[in-house]
Amino acid sequence: MKYLYTRDDIRSGDLIALSHNRWASWSDVQVMVIRVFRMTEYSHVGVAWRICGRLFILHAIGGGVSITPLSLNLPFYWLPLDQWTPEAEEYALSTVGQRYSKWQAILAGLGMLRGGTDDRWECAEWANMVLRRCGHDVGDAYTPDELVDRLS
């Protein structure tokens, strides 16, 4: 999907999923091992956030919950969702800076994560908690592929 053609249609609260295909660093290798182990297309998810004419992705990454221009995360898979609430936005922004947890990512991959129990995050757990505040019932979807599947 071409970013320039879809940019104007992406709204706050839409799910953004990424497929990781790089082998340039130890972190890349870890992500690819997880993708192979889980047999999944997606390695990361976040939530689109549009403000002041700019388009960002809110997401939990290695440095913690962050706001990044979506244009720096190409290519991506876009899943339009139907609503974004002030409660979701307030909650998402209140978590910016909270820590990422590799351990929670491992637990999620093993199907053992109990999400939302602390202030440390893995990407799908964080997106799940935000999207619940938009009225999306995604249950215990704590991996990128589970979240995409439940919202598709």
Judging by beta carbons within 10 Å of its beta carbon (0-12, 13-18, 19+), is residue 9 exposed, middle or buried? exposed
Taking 60 as the threshold, does the pLDDT of residue 144 lie above it? yes
| pLDDT for the residue numbered 107 | 86
pLDDT tens digits, 60-77: 998 999 999 999 988 899
**φ, ψ for residue 113 (rounded to 5)?**
-80, 135
pLDDT, greater one: 30 or 115:
115
| pLDDT for the residue numbered 38 | 60
| pLDDT for the residue numbered 55 | 97
pLDDT tens digits, 12-58: 999 999 886 655 555 555 555 665 556 567 888 999 999 999 999 99
Domains and CATH numbers, the chain: 3-147 (3.90.1720.10)
CA distance 118 to 109: 18
Taking 80 as the threshold, does the pLDDT of residue 150 lie above it? yes
pLDDT, greater one: 147 or 39:
147
Question: Rounded mean pLDDT of the chain?
Answer: 88
Taking 70 as the threshold, does the pLDDT of residue 80 lie above it? yes
**Which residues, 6 or more positions from 70, have their beta carbon under 8 angstroms from its beta carbon?**
3, 7, 10, 16, 48, 55, 56, 57, 76
| pLDDT for the residue numbered 5 | 87
